[in-house]
Structure 1
Amino acid sequence: MDKVSLPERPGWRDRAAELGFTFADMGGEPYWDESSAYRFSLREVEEAIEDPSTELHGLVREAVATALASDEWMTRMAIPPEHWDFVADSWKAGEPELYGRMDLAYDGQCPAKLLEYNADTPTSLYESASFQWLWLEEQQRLGVLSPDTDQFNAIHEALATRWAEIAAPGTDVHFAADKTNPEDYATVEALAWAAREADLGAHFTDLAGIGLTEEGQFADDEDRVIGTLFKLYPWEDMLRDDFARHLAASGTRFIEPPWKAVVSNKALLPLLWRLFPGHPNLLPAFFEADVAEALRGGKPAPATARAFAAAEDTLRAGYVSKPIFSREGAGVIITEAGRETERAPDDTYDDHPRIIQGLARLPDFGGFYPVIGSWIVGQTCVGMGLREDASRITHNMSRFKPHYIEG
């Protein structure tokens, strides 16, 4: 893994605007940044990113089964009790998943570490699946990159295949997002593009335009009943929405399915560590309340106490505190050697329960810290995208960086 300075493509911003990539610059700063790119070898992509991500997803599915069978874990994940059956029934029925993005810390030397799993409403999809592939092809054509270079990117093709696996040809799918958010719109458009290639109908609908019919069905702003809905709206909010009591009886098929409320929840991280302590791709993780109890000399659950004792030295050296629900680094606090060293300015989610997680030290490339987003489609890792930030906490103004494989 290395960061390589490269010339930018002439007129790439015009090309981005032409393709609808309207958020390539945000707030006067570049979001898409091709002044440099990250270079990987094929071996490290396959052995350090692809295979571990697929394995981690398998572990996640085991954790889901554990959580859904436990009132304790459902409570700790702050899933409203009135919807426990709704969430669990979707798992028991085998409702299929579509996609997700694991955020990994990787320095090219040590095993990649799972920071969190955005498995319900992950964005940065368009730039990962489409625009960075276009970058590779055009840089090869310009002679900036060798024609022998490649990219770990089968995301779009995998999505089209997955749609064909989980929905019958001709199925109409509504894609819902906030129409005022260009990044969210680009995400659902990328998914709809893949769905159309799978011979499905794809209709965009603004989240605010969805309502309830007299028969208790969800409908769009043109009064079309929604049979299948992909929603870029997280389950932790949906389950607390005014319409939540109608979810189970609506007859709508939701993508992602309700059981993803467990996967997109950062309380999953302590559960993974409880089930698979010492796994090379996991960081020690605990509920903050349990750690506080242990440090006071109290009596947390025996399994928690044992796991905490085994990881105490790691946590003493450095750890991260984060709310179980949050977006774009909000609420994250880094503590090292007992002293707070960095805090995200956004405290929007600070009223939620918190976990702590061992600190993964991101590599420093010229004052920027990259995080790898490994994309899971179905149950397999099929590509990646990188974001880097001048902060060790990756914020919503981080930069997306293309990557390529050489050697």
Structure 2
Amino acid sequence: MRRVTGQPRPDWEKTIEAQGLGFHRNVPQGEGRPYWDESVHYAFTLGQVEDLELVVSELHDMCLQAVDHVVKTRGFAAYGIPEWLWRPITRSWERRDPHLFGRFDLCYDGTGHAKLLEYNADTPTSLVESSVIQWYWKQDAHPAADQWNSLHEALIGRWREILRPGTMLHLAHTDTDEAGEDALNVAYMADVASQAGLQVRHLTMEAIGSDGRGFYDLGNHPIEHLFKLYPWEWVTTEGFGRAAVDAQSGQPWVEPLWKMLLSNKALLAVLWELYPDHPNLLPAYVGTPHGMTSYIAKPLLGREGAGMRIVQPHQVIETAGPYGAEGYLFQEFWPLPDVDGWHPVLGAWVVGDTPAGLGIRETAGLITDDTSSFVPHLIHD
């Protein structure tokens, strides 16, 4: 795995904006570089990518086994999930309500075992950068090279498996998304769903109405199938939360309710309990560091690196954020690789049950947050 420098394309800003990535101008340049940075890329061998595909496939299977374990043992308490949700989540899993996609965040240096840092299973973002923007960069700048990237085709295929062509699908995000990232991801998802033969309507969560029995858009059209880029832990605390949960028995939303067991960082402790000493896992525990002297404390429902605390014998590093009241996951601290002074996190995508691509964020610090730059990658042999 090599970090390679190069010259950005002339007028690259206009190019990526024409391809849909407009919100990059709204991301603070906390490290003095743009959010999309094509002046560098990471180069992998085909063998490394094939190994990572196997890792992602195994991690995905392990996560499904973890859901099954939690449901069968009623191990919801570690997640901090209210008891009124235990039965609906169980029923959602027993029905195998269809799931669409997720992103595993991995620590990997090209030589040792990739380590799972966390799993973004309910509302993963950076989809457009991973699927579209870096693909067209490759086509323009390195047309003879390859890339681990079948996201676009995989999403179209998965939507065809979830819903019949001609079905109406509503897609929603929150209007509190000031940067525009969520809106972009939902717009792209609407595009791939349309290419899968679905009818699509794009709206915000705040524009969804409910009469206590069903849900409707502003045109009073019934919302029978919904893709939401809005986490279940937020939905269930809204005034319409119970009605939304009750609706899942008829027309489950995407992502399904059982994904609450994968989008919560307590998953990492369950995985470590089920698969101790697995080469792709790190020791992890809910509520206590369990005697570890170097660890990272992660809010169970935290996002974008907010509210974290890295504890080492010689220093403590903390990030601000609104999360933590729900409890913490304590995971062994595993430093990110240092590649020319930068620290990459690999975001490995799974669509349905199949590995489908890679996106990379990197930062000069130890915690990847919402200002960390996205850089493309290639496969070189």
Bigger drift between 180-189 and 274-283 goes to 180-189
Q: What is the CA distance between 1:180 and its match in structure 2?
A: 5.5
Relative distance call for 1:290 and 1:14 in structure 2 (3 A) is closer
Q: 1:153 is matched with which residue: 136, 149, 154? A: 149
Relative distance call for 1:249 and 1:286 in structure 2 (3 A) is closer
- 2:70 aligned partner, one-letter code: A
**1:244-283 pair list within 5 angstroms:** 244-250=241-247, 251-283=250-282
Secondary structure, aligned partner of 1:382: strand
Q: What is the CA distance between 1:335 and its match in structure 2?
A: 1.3
CA deviation map 1:380-401 (0-9, x unaligned): 1110000001111001100000
Residue 334 of structure 1 aligns with which residue? 310
Secondary structure, aligned partner of 1:247: helix
CA distance in 1, matches of 2:245, 2:236: 11
Secondary structure, aligned partner of 2:20: coil
- TM-score after normalising by structure 1: 0.89
Residue 2 of structure 2 aligns with which residue? 2
For the 8 Å contact 1:333–1:340, the answer to whether it is kept is no
Q: What is the CA distance between 1:179 and its match in structure 2?
A: 4.1
- 1:233 aligned partner, one-letter code: Y
Q: Does 1:379 align with 2:356?
A: no
CA distance in 2, matches of 1:361, 1:406: 26
For the aligned residue pairs, the C-alpha RMSD in angstroms reads 1.4
Q: 2:80 is matched with which residue: 54, 69, 78? A: 78
Secondary structure, aligned partner of 1:161: helix
CA distance in 1, matches of 2:321, 2:197: 43
Q: What is the CA distance between 1:364 and its match in structure 2?
A: 1.1
Secondary structure, aligned partner of 1:150: coil
- 2:141 aligned partner, one-letter code: Q
Q: What is the CA distance between 1:340 and its match in structure 2?
A: 3.8
Structure 1 segments unaligned to the other structure (5+ residues): 142-146, 296-314
For the 8 Å contact 1:218–1:252, the answer to whether it is kept is no
CA distance in 2, matches of 1:195, 1:221: 21
- 2:72 aligned partner, one-letter code: A
Residue 134 of structure 2 aligns with which residue? 132
Residue 42 of structure 2 aligns with which residue? 38
Residue 158 of structure 2 aligns with which residue? 162
Relative distance call for 1:357 and 1:377 in structure 2 (3 A) is same
Q: Does 1:325 align with 2:301?
A: yes
Residue 239 of structure 1 aligns with which residue? 236
Structure 2 segments unaligned to the other structure (5+ residues): none
Residue 15 of structure 1 aligns with which residue? 15
Residue 227 of structure 1 aligns with which residue? 224
Residue 119 of structure 1 aligns with which residue? 121
Q: What is the CA distance between 1:24 and its match in structure 2?
A: 2.4
- 1:201 aligned partner, one-letter code: Q
Secondary structure, aligned partner of 2:307: coil
Q: What is the CA distance between 1:140 and its match in structure 2?
A: 2.6
Relative distance call for 1:227 and 1:96 in structure 2 (3 A) is same
For the 8 Å contact 2:289–2:330, the answer to whether it is kept is no
- 1:253 aligned partner, one-letter code: P
Q: 1:58 is matched with which residue: 56, 61, 66? A: 61
Q: 2:188 is matched with which residue: 175, 187, 190? A: 190
For the 8 Å contact 1:41–1:406, the answer to whether it is kept is yes
- TM-score after normalising by structure 2: 0.95
- 1:343 aligned partner, one-letter code: E
Q: What is the CA distance between 1:189 and its match in structure 2?
A: 1.6
CA distance in 1, matches of 2:246, 2:9: 52
CA distance in 2, matches of 1:171, 1:405: 38
Q: What is the CA distance between 1:206 and its match in structure 2?
A: 0.9
Secondary structure, aligned partner of 2:221: coil
For the pair shown, the structure with the greater C-alpha radius of gyration is: 1
CA deviation map 1:315-340 (0-9, x unaligned): 33x21111111100111111123x44
Secondary structure, aligned partner of 2:41: strand
Residue 304 of structure 1 aligns with which residue? none
For the 8 Å contact 1:80–1:239, the answer to whether it is kept is no
CA distance in 1, matches of 2:17, 2:109: 33
Secondary structure, aligned partner of 1:168: coil
CA deviation map 1:239-284 (0-9, x unaligned): 2221112124334420000000000010000000000001110001
Residue 348 of structure 1 aligns with which residue? 322
CA distance in 1, matches of 2:168, 2:317: 46
Relative distance call for 1:233 and 1:31 in structure 2 (3 A) is same
For the 8 Å contact 1:9–1:139, the answer to whether it is kept is yes
- 2:311 aligned partner, one-letter code: T
Q: Does 1:402 align with 2:376?
A: yes
Secondary structure, aligned partner of 2:8: coil
For the 8 Å contact 1:39–1:404, the answer to whether it is kept is yes
Relative distance call for 1:27 and 1:361 in structure 2 (3 A) is closer
Q: What is the CA distance between 1:27 and its match in structure 2?
A: 2.5
